[in-house]
Structures are given as C-alpha cells and as structure tokens.
Amino acid sequence: MADILKLRCSICEREYAPGEVQYTCPVCGQVGTLDVLYDYPALRQTVDRDYYSFLHDPSMWRYRALLPIEPEAVVSPLTVGMTPLYHTPRLARALGLREAWAKDDGSNPTGSLKDRASALVVARAMAAQVGIVSTASTGNAAAALAGVGASVGMKIVIFVPATAPEAKIAQLLVYGATVLLVEDSYDVAFDLCFEICEVEGWYCRNTGINPFTVEGKKTAAFEIAEQMGWDVPDVVVVSVGDGNIIAGVHKGFRDLYELGWIKRIPRLIGVQAEGSSPLVHAWESGISAADMQPVEATTIADSISAGVPRDRAKALRAVRQTGGAFVAVSDEAIIESIPAVARLTGVFAEPAAAAVYAGTQRAVSLGYIQPDERAALLLTGNGLKDVKRAQQSVGEGLRVPPDLTAIRRALGLS
C-alpha cells in the first residue's frame, strides 16, 4: 500500500493530514480539489519497477502498492484496467506522426476508463463500511459505479441528466442502480448529488470532489509506461470534460517520475468540444482555475460536456506543467473521427473518445505536436455507448433485394 503522506489543495496548497478532510479544501471550496501525496523516498525503498515484469495480475490492482488501499482490502472481482495499448502505424501516417499508439479503455468491464475510478472508490467505501455510494454523471461514470457496485453488492444511487444517451441509462438500470433522471444539466445534477450525500452521509464519488477518483484513473498512465517498456511517448492526447482524466494521467506519470521509473513526463494535450471548451479558453487566456466562469455546454459528445469543469485546477496544471496544450474541435469533426478511429485502429470509440483523433489533427496543424514525435491517444469509451452518433457518422449500408445479380450490381461487379 502507498501510505498517504498528506492531502494538498490544488489552489491554495494548504496541506491536510489523511482523514482530516473528506472531499475538497475547506478554504477554497469545490474548486480546491485535493492531491493525494505519498512518501516517495519510502516507496522507492519498498517497490521495485522490475517486480512488475513477473506479475500475472491483468488488472489495475497489479499497482496496488502504488494505490491508497490496504493490501488485504476487498476489491471488485471485475477485471478493470490493463487495457490494450495498440501500436498503430496507419494511425501515425494519417496523423503525420513518426509513431502512434491507441489505448483502448473502452474495453473495461462497463465500457469506459471511468471503471478505474469507481473500482478504487468502491474499494475504499467497503473498507470504511459505507452503505451507499452516489455519483452524478453524463453516463460513463454512472455506469462504472453501477457496474462495480453490482459486482460487490453495494447500493448505488445515480444522478444523470435526462438527456443522457438511452444506452447509458439502460446500462445503469440493468446493473440495478437507483437512477434519478434530472431534468436539467449535468452541472445541476452534480450539485444535487453532492448535497444529498452531505445530508444523508452517503459516500460521494463525484468527479473532482472525491480526491480518489484521480488515484484510480492514474493507473492508465502506469499502464502506458509499462506497456511501452517504461519509455513513455512524447505526447499523450486526452479528451477533457471535467478534467479528472487528464489530471489522473498527469498524476500517474508524476508518481512514476518521482519514483525514478521514467525519465520524463509526456506533454499532455487536452481535447474539448467547441461547444464545451472552458478549459481551452482559460489556457489560451491565462485564466486561473479559481477565476473561470461557467459556460453553457452544448455538444454531441456527452461524456465531455461540462459547463463548470470540476477538476479544472488540476487539468490546467497538467497541461501547463508539461508544456502541453488545450485544443477545441467541432462536433462535426468529432462525428467524422468515429469511423476514422475505427478504420485506422480497429477500435470502436464513442464520440468523446474519438474526439482525440480530431484533437491530435488540430494539435499537429498548430505545431503543438511535431511530425517526428511519438503520441499515445487515450480512447476513453466504447462506441456502443452511443450507437445513434455512430450511425450518424456512417449512414446506412447498401439495401439490396435477395438477388445475386442485384447484389453484384450494387457492389460494382457487373
């Protein structure tokens, strides 16, 4: 187990002892999301990088020694993490890069990277003997919590916008979660969830509010590093809504750097939809997380739709500290990216995940990524999460009568 040394506010940098605060900085409020910090010199003495060469655990729990969870703690039996990292020469050529990789986190049990955060949060909830865990989500975090909760018999209450894709809502109900369809935005659902958790004493998994969501998501960075033989890429491209995933990727690489397991931290490129791009504006304008103002978020990529990015301080820090960038892409470019990613990699990605393809194109055109560099694209969710948008991206197949002559004609064979 990685013993927690302290919790530090990402805004004011006040430090708190483990257990002193549960969610965000009491001084800065919800924008003051907390970093979980470890005794890295002690970890260097007890954990050996070469140890992982001999592990046969095909899940995120292979990194248990680097996670805030007791060695004997009960965890979900679902195989979360250790998702494929595909070397993709055709993707690299299409993007004009020396090399490219696609990390398929849509292959997690409930179909998204969010399983990583939910697995850790539920494990900590069980250790604390919490009865109910709740979250607000546009769909994927909710499905992750519902699925992981079902695997251990944990009661789950979900707040989700009523406009969420039908497939995602169905997934929540199938898992047996209590689902509240809020007839308003994700940001409203988020606030309602946190309020009732505070009143009822439920454990809140809300992105950013709960500091351990990042600790689960950082395992994606651990895997990229290990799967590449600890020779990390120059750039990692991540789609961004609340900012928690890019914060987690940054934390993962930072942990490995502090341990001396990697020689450098990759530059991080955050991709947002044009209709939901407050972090792009803040980065371009030099605005601090504390001074960011809400926007009205409108995008077909529901998984990255957020008017007020809840982990905005860590997201901005991730990009600024690594010398990366934020870019915005249109909904049209996101739709076009769904078949592009599928045909270049064989991975079927939902709109928010496929957005990294359009974002990488944009970053290359702006000079944020150079042609001689190596990039990893983090594909965060499976395309079956939003079949409607996938159909929109490709249209219908060829309709033909049951006649071989007509079929040959349709195929241009006669």
pLDDT of residue 1: 66
Cα 402 to chain centroid distance, Å, stands at 45
Q: Are 131 and 231 in contact (CB under 8 A)?
A: no
Spatial distance between the Cα atoms of 227 and 354, rounded to a whole number of angstroms: 22
Show Cβ contacts of residue 54 under 8 Å, excluding neighbours closer than 6 positions.
Answer: none
Distance CA 130, CA 116 (A): 19
Among the listed residues 245, 263, 389, the one whose alpha carbon sits nearest the alpha carbon of residue 310: 245
How far, CA to CA in Å, does 69 sit from each of 36, 139, 246? 12, 26, 22
pLDDT at 231: 98
Counting as low any pLDDT under 50, the low residues of the chain are: none
Q: Please report the domains of the chain, with CATH numbers, ordered by start residue.
A: 85-110+213-394 (3.40.50.1100)
> Using an 8 Å Cβ cutoff, are 235 and 376 in contact?
yes
Which three-class secondary structure state does DSSP give residue 8? strand
Cα–Cα distance list, 255 to 2, 88, 215, 261, 309 (Å): 11, 27, 10, 9, 24
Q: Which residues pair with 270 in a beta bridge?
A: 238, 326
Determine the pLDDT at residue 65. 94
Q: What is the pLDDT of residues 369-393, one digit of tens each?
A: 999 999 999 999 999 999 999 999 9
Where do we find the tokens 């809300």? Answer: 206
What is the H or E stretch that residue 331 is in? Answer: helix 331-345
Residue by residue, DSSP assigns 43-85 as HHHH--GGGGGG----SGGGGGGGSSS-TT----SS--S---E
212: which residues sit within 8 A by CB, 6+ positions away? Answer: 36, 68, 117, 120, 121, 124
How far, CA to CA in Å, does 149 sit from each of 106, 131, 132, 173, 179? 19, 11, 9, 12, 13
Scan for tokens 């998994």, then name that residue.
Answer: 205
For 15-65, the pLDDT digits (tens) are 999 999 999 999 999 999 999 999 999 999 999 999 888 889 999 999 999
DSSP, collapsed to helix, strand or coil, labels residue 297 as: coil
- Look at residue 54 in the predicted model and tell me its pLDDT: 87
Closest listed residue to residue 166, CA positions, set 157, 179, 154: 179
DSSP letter at 227 equals H
| pLDDT confidence of residue 88 | 98
Q: CA-to-CA distance for 117 and 404, rounded, in angstroms?
A: 52
The residues with which 16 forms a beta bridge, in sequence order, are: 7
Verdict on whether the full-model pTM lies above 0.75: yes
Specify the amino acid at residue 50.
Answer: D
Question: How high is the pLDDT of residue 164?
Answer: 85
Residue 19 to residue 36: CA distance in whole angstroms: 11
